[in-house]
Chains A and B, each alone.
Chain A
Amino acid sequence: MSYQVNRKGYYGEFGGAFIPEMMHPNIEELQEKYMEIINSYNFRQDFVNLLKHYVGRPSPLYYAKRMSERYQSHIFLKREDLNHTGSHKINNTIGQILLAKALGKKRIIAETGAGQHGVATATVCALMGMECIVYMGALDVQRQAPNVKKMRMLGAQVISAESGNKTLKDATNEAMRDWINNPVDTHYIIGSVVGPHPYPDMVARFQSVISEEIRWQLDEQLGRELPTRVIACVGGGSNAAGSFYHFLDEESVELVGVEAAGKGVNSGESAATLFLGKPGVLHSSRSIVMQTDDGQIIEPYSISAGLDYPGIGPMHAHLFATHRAKYLWATDTEVLDAALELTQLEGIIPALESAHALAVLKKIDLKPDDVNVVNLSGRGDKDMETYLTYFGY
């Protein structure tokens, strides 16, 4: 079984590039050139250098002793929250900005939910001196205000998406419309493993540094490269794709993705796509999509703006369909409790997104000898208001 994308851009039956003709020249150019560019010596040099000296990689693999005691099982945290800009998102934006430069593009657009990808994009645009426009749902502009201010300070223009539920899906629609209207000099830095081929594969490759490091860091600390399981939250699924990547063909490693169940999977206010969706086409790829019987996209809900998305990357749809990875969910309240637990046991305030991965530790039958790696994809600074309101500090 192959878990990699095939030549036509498919993972099993999922993927492809369902794009309007207006996007064809840009997508075709990417499809034809991305592998050559990212495998080139110059690109590798720049990418590795920036990840090391600018982002601060490798990110630590931290043995969480008190958490391990609490759960009676070994728990390691992959500290993507310690990256520059506060999440794993920067791995991808560094890769894509270098790619955009190699393609001769002058103008960068991006969508953002929680604002982490927006900040990571605005950051690399400042670094490279490129024009940056970030689309963000109007609701997210409100609930992630600090990130909006950061993006503006970094020189990006933040455009509020007013359509639909005014969240990540709508921001993505607006970014695609921008690209259609600016077909020549613009590169669209998609923030997750979604969108038309080659984005899911390209973004997964840029994020795969996460699992590459986990392997040698585990080896260094335990003398074994393979954990029992890897746990990561999934919205579009980029941090999960990155933390699963180098374990995909290691069948002994259990891969666990965690979706956002909002107020409960069946509450009508949820973003647990794999549990509620069915095959469909959204944002130019065939995947599993939350939709009505008539094929209209259902507006999702999650407390976490970064997971508030009705689709999922085609790679995850394939891993789900083939049972290579297991997908669980966590509700808003389970997530808030998990965030507080980590904060008070380990002194680490996680992002709401990452707290989804922590929340399922209670739902898995953990054995004392298990080695669990939880990808702590982002830090909680942006979510302080939510935490403070909920916990009443």
Chain B
Amino acid sequence: MQNRINQLFQDKKENILSVYFTAGYPKLDDTVTIIENLVENGVDLIEIGMPFSDPVADGPVIQHSSLVALHNGMTIKKLFEQLKDIRDKVNIPLILMGYLNPVVQFGVENFCQKCAEVGIDGLILPDLPLNEYQEEYQPLFEKYNLHNILLITPQTSEMRLRQIDEASSGFIYMVSSSSTTGVKNNVSDFHQDYFERIRQMELKNPRLIGFGISNRETFENACKYAQGAIIGSAFVKALDGELTLEEKISNFVKSIVRTA
């Protein structure tokens, strides 16, 4: 079966919206509800965050959601239980995102096998660098048809960009500016030169831009330079408040995407 990530990028060339949320936040059992509602509102791709106690690449919003999720009792085992029947309900690509240590404790092969069983299409593990991935993990990821999504930043050298492009199979996660997640970006702050430079490199993989995408303006601007963009902290923040989960998700996605 073709990986759903590749299918998505074949079918849709622009304005792809990917949304991140932390599994187990706001409530332990919200995972499936959040996924279903994101799909209903037209999101193209979902990144499900596996909370970690020490998320060094994340800013305050995702640090907080991770802490609450762990406090609620979220674990990788629990997450796989929640996702058991997810493929009866949704068809869009699903990615798990998190830090290496919990995955290693779960057992990497066991983890990959579970991912394949529930229908996960890719992984983003920010603290698993390219060389370690290639030396130890790549065969397992490939065996279970999981794309490893690698990050690039404005400081990534051209040579390394080419290596990352070569080693990537789903898409490249283009970090808008070197930062932790949830940094406030103004459109004018965007490294437009960097976006343009990368666009001109004609990489073989499609790209999504993430970090600092928080509203329609930043989303649309990012979409000018890549196939789409990723929203994380802004969405997690939007899950706060009084409305129902359904209302909050619908309001948020509508605030980003113009309805045709």
> Of the candidates A164, A180, A291, which one forms a contact with B180 in the assembled complex, judged by CB atoms under 8 Å apart?
A180
- The docked-state distance in angstroms from the alpha carbon of A192 to that of B209 is 35
CB of B70 within 8 Å of the partner chain: yes
* Interface pair A177/B53, CB less than 8 Å apart: no
Query: Which residues from B are CB-within-8-Å of A361?
Result: none
Q: Which of A22, A164, A183 is in CB contact (< 8 Å) with B151?
A: A22
- Chain B residues positioned under 8 Å from A221 (CB to CB): none
Residues of chain B lying within 8 A (CB to CB) of residue A280: 101, 104-105
Question: In the bound complex, what is the Cα–Cα distance between A282 and B99 (angstroms)?
Answer: 10
CA distance A307 to B151 in the complex (A): 34
| A164 and B54 form a contact (CB under 8 A) | yes
* Contact assessment for A295 and B127 in the assembled complex, using a CB-CB cutoff below 8 Å: no
Q: A49 — which chain B residues lie within 8 A by C-beta?
A: none
A170 nearest CB neighbor, chain B only: B54
Please state if B101 and A20 are interface contacts (CB–CB under 8 Å).
Answer: no
Chain B residue total in the interface (Cβ 8 A): 38
* Chain B proximity mask over A232-268: 1 for CB below 8 Å, otherwise 0: 0000000000000000000000000000000000000
Chain A residues closer than 8 Å to B53, beta-carbon distance: 164, 296-297
Contact, CB under 8 Å: A296 / B126: no
CB distance from A66 to the nearest CB of B (A): 45
A391 to chain B, nearest CB (A): 36
Q: How many residues of A contact B (CB 8 A)?
A: 32
Q: In the complex, what distance in Å separates the CA atom of A24 from the CA atom of B126?
A: 11
- Judged by a CB distance under 8 angstroms, whether B160 is at the interface is yes
Q: With a CB–CB cut-off of 8 A, which chain B residues contact A283?
A: 54, 56
Beta-carbon nearest neighbor of B180 in chain A? A177
Indicate if the CB atoms of A25 and B157 lie closer than 8 Å.
yes
**Which of A279, A289, A296 has the most chain B CB atoms inside 10 A of its CB?**
A296
Kindly provide the distance from the CB of A99 to the nearest chain B CB, expressed in whole angstroms: 20
Chain A residues in 8 Å Cβ range of B157:
25
A22 & B179 in contact (Cβ 8 Å cutoff)? yes
Q: Indicate whether A18 sits within 8 Å of B180 (C-beta atoms), given known contacts A295-B102, A296-B70.
A: no
Does B38 sit at the interface, judged by CB under 8 A? no
Residues of B within 8 A of A181 (CB): 178-180, 183
CB-nearest residue of chain B relative to A16? B132
B105→A176 contact, CB < 8 A: no
Residues of A within 8 A of B52 (CB): 295-296
CB pair B56 A180 closer than 8 Å: yes
- In angstroms, Cα B127 to Cα A74, docked, is 47
Distance of A295 Cα from B127 Cα, bound (Å): 14
CB of B129 within 8 A of CB of A295, answer: no
B175 interfacial contact with A, CB 8 Å: yes
In the docked arrangement, what's the CA distance between A281 and B137, Å?
15
Q: Are A297 and B179 touching (Cβ within 8 A)?
A: no
Distance between B253 CB and nearest chain A CB, rounded to angstroms:
28
0 or 1 for each of B73-116: is its CB under 8 Å from A? (1 = yes): 00111000000000000000000000111111110000000000
Q: Which of A17, A21, A164 has the most CB of B within 10 A?
A: A21
Task: Give 29 CB contacts A-B under 8 Å.
Answer: A17-B129, A18-B100, A20-B126, A21-B150, A21-B152, A22-B57, A22-B175, A24-B129, A163-B67, A173-B56, A177-B59, A177-B180, A180-B56, A180-B57, A180-B179, A181-B178, A181-B183, A281-B99, A289-B101, A291-B105, A293-B105, A294-B76, A294-B105, A295-B76, A295-B104, A295-B106, A296-B53, A296-B102, A297-B54
9 A-B pairs with the lowest CB-CB distances in the bound complex, closest first: A295-B105, A295-B102, A21-B151, A183-B178, A20-B126, A296-B53, A294-B75, A20-B57, A295-B101
Query: Which residues of B are interface residues toward A (Cβ below 8 A)?
Result: 52-54, 56-57, 59, 63, 67, 70, 75-77, 99-106, 126-129, 132, 150-153, 155-157, 160, 175, 178-180, 183
Residues of A at the B interface (CB closer than 8 Å) are 16-22, 24-25, 163-164, 169, 173, 176-177, 180-181, 183-184, 279-284, 289, 291, 293-297
Q: Besides the contacts A181-B178, A184-B155, what 18 more A-B pairs have beta carbons closer than 8 Å?
A: A18-B128, A19-B127, A20-B57, A20-B127, A22-B57, A24-B153, A25-B156, A163-B63, A164-B53, A176-B56, A180-B178, A181-B179, A280-B101, A281-B104, A282-B54, A282-B101, A296-B52, A296-B70
